[in-house]
Amino acid sequence: MILHFSGDFDVFPAFAPHFAKKVRRVLILVICEKSSIIFLSPILLRKRMRNMIKVDLTGAAPFFDAAGPDYASAASAHRMLEEKSGPGAEFTGWIELPMRMKKGELKPILAAAAKIRSRSKALVVVGIGGSYLGARGAIELLRPLPGKDDPRIFFVGNGLSPDYLNGVIEQLGDDDFDVNVISKSGTTLEPAVSFRVFRAMLEKKYGSAAKRHIFATTDVSRGVLRSMANAEGWECFTVPGDVGGRYSVLSAVGLLPMAVAGIDVAAIVDHAIETFGALYRRSPDNPVWQYAAARQHLYGRGYGIELLASYEPSFRFMGEWWKQLYGESEGKNGIGIFPASLEYTADLHSMGQYVQDGPRKLYETVVSFEKSLTSFPVPFGMGDPDGLNYLAGRDLHDICRTARDAVKAAHISGGVPNIGVSVERRDEAGYAELVCFFELACAISGYMSGVNPFDQPGVEAYKKNMFKMLGKPGA
């Protein structure tokens, strides 16, 4: 049974739990069409949460004090977020974003992606920070190697290295390509310079048809890039005005490059809608509360560095996305947990010594995928010359899981709290769960620490100095 509700957002959240309780035997879900929020019935909510992202605090609990994580503070922060009563509330549109995309831009995004895939061997994505990290994290996680019919995805505009830029141009060669330029304003130096370069390449290659190879993702009505797009007739997608860049991956900012790479973005959007609904639950059983409250509790006990680690190499740029999300959201007013990321097991052979025996100011959050997409048993060696036959026939995923458990035990014994975060598979559902989970937890954790998790006043300081030193008129 699906019930649609088109009333005011301010009224419905208070009404939905009571209504769900009354009809919990038959209710599947309730959709508030105006707010684009899904509420699951209590029974199905518990069932869904058992089958989705999980948080394991057993490795952190020995480092808690007697009071433990402050779930009352988490509840208050969650309420502020939901009621849009906290600082930065005008930038919380990312909560409703998946439903808005499903009802709005998703179809034209899929059409544009199909057009690009049908004619080009590459897509050049121009963007920096939140305009590229989410898409790159998704593509490297879900499509670490392009399929036979998949265009290659190049990311530029995230730095000022001439060597990197020339390297991308060399790899492109004479291949047909399209450009997706992503910028809310169009004035950020790094992407603006790169876009000028690749726009000129398109014009040289395609002449007057170059404009059909440019896709601009920008503000709906304002800014330099929007003005250029309107004047030139480029196809446009929207950077939502009520969503900050680091929370924008489930908009066209992330979905268009993902779709071109061959990722099922419609499935991501559907899973994100469901996940946000499941994580609505106000309870210490909510994994979002567990993670946000645990990390703030550890911070209060002197653990000011969080290491995000995964045993999946393709998770690397998800870590980069996570660092921006948490660094920009919480690092202000002289406080904040410092976010860093590591790749296990590789970094155990470089940073493992520091983690095990260095200053006891850090804790680790380890992201795991419980089921691998493929299997690879260790082969048997005749005569056992390398002494590895004790592993013969065991799958690498099982061996990796054992290594993870061994590292966890070693780090805990060395004084490093361990938080576990796990999803079932490295697929579209797992990706959607991770994004929704980390975004919600970041907002709640930020409110718990007393900051506005949706602004970033400090990022303008270097820009002002840089433009002045470069001689920009009016700087």
Answer yes or no: are the C-beta atoms of 59 and 294 closer than 8 Å.
no
Which of 4, 18, 349, 460 does the annotation list as catalytic? 349
Give the span between the Cα atoms of 443 and 318, in whole angstroms.
18
Answer yes or no: are the C-beta atoms of 258 and 138 closer than 8 Å.
yes
> Would you list the DSSP string of 344-359?
TTGGGGTTHHHHHHS-
**The tokens 């959050």 sit on which residue?**
365
Tokens of 185: 């304003």
Give the span between the Cα atoms of 469 and 291, in whole angstroms.
42
**The tokens 């949460």 sit on which residue?**
49
Q: Are strands 235-238 and 177-182 parallel, antiparallel or unpaired?
A: unpaired
Q: Are strands 177-182 and 122-126 parallel, antiparallel or unpaired?
A: parallel
Which of 34, 205, 211, 463 does the annotation list as catalytic? 463
Which of 105, 328, 330, 428 does the annotation list as catalytic? 328
Active site residue 463: yes
Tokens of 378: 């260790």
User: Tell me, what amino acid is at 374?
Assistant: T
The CB density around residue 137, as the number of other CB atoms within 10 Å, is: 25
Residue 329 three-state SS? helix
Active site residue 349: yes
Give the span between the Cα atoms of 382 and 385, in whole angstroms.
8
Tokens of 474: 């009016």
Of 207, 189, 216, nearest in space to 124 by CA: 216
Give the span between the Cα atoms of 80 and 444, in whole angstroms.
9
> Would you list the DSSP string of 58-112?
TTTGGGS-SS-S-HHHHHHHHHHHHHT-STTGGGBGGGTHHHHHHHTTHHHHHHH
Quick one: which H or E segment has residue 442? Answer: helix 428-449
Beta bridge partners of 4: 31
Residue 472 three-state SS? coil
User: Tell me, what amino acid is at 313?
Assistant: P
Cα 220 to its chain centre, rounded Å, is 23
Quick one: which H or E segment has residue 187? Answer: none
Of 176, 121, 115, nearest in space to 147 by CA: 121
DSSP 8-state symbol, 372: -
Which residues are identified as catalytic? Answer: 328, 349, 463
